[in-house]
Structure 1
Amino acid sequence: MKPTILMMPRLAAEAIARLKQSYTVIGPVDGDAAAAIPAEARDARVLVTYGGRRTGAELMDALPKLELIACYGSGVEGVDAAAAKARGIRLCNAADANARSVAEFAMGLMLCAMRGIGQGERFLRDGLWGKPGRDPVANTPDLAGRKIGIYGLGAIGSRIASRAAAFEMEVGYHSRSPKPDLPYRFHDSLPGLAAWADVLVVAVRASAETRNAIDDAVLNALGPAGYVVNIARGLVIDEDALCAALEQKRIAGAALDVFAAEPHVPERLRALDNVVLTPHIAASSQDAKKEQLRMLLGNLEAFFAGRPILSPVTL
Structure 2
Amino acid sequence: MKIAITGGAGFLGSYLTRAYLDQGHNVIVIDNLNSGSANTIDPRARFYQLDIRDEKLRTILANERPDIVSHHVNQHLYEVSADQSLLDADTHIRGLLHVLDSCVNASVRKFIFASGGNTLYGQVSPTQLPLSEEAPLQPRQPADISRVAGEWYVRYYTQQHGLKHTILRYADIYGGNGAHGNPHPLNYFIQMLTEGRRPIIRGAGDTLHDHIFIDDAVSANLQALTLGDNQTIHISNGEGYTLKQLYTLCAQALRSDIEPVYISGALAEASAITLDNALAQRVLKWQPEVSMREGLMHLLHAYGHFQTHTQPEQREETHLDIMPVQVSSLSRV
Give the structure-2-normalised TM-score: 0.33
Higher relative contact order (CA 8 A, sep 6+): 2
Higher-Rg structure is: 1
Structure number having the greater helix percentage: 2
Give the structure-1-normalised TM-score: 0.35
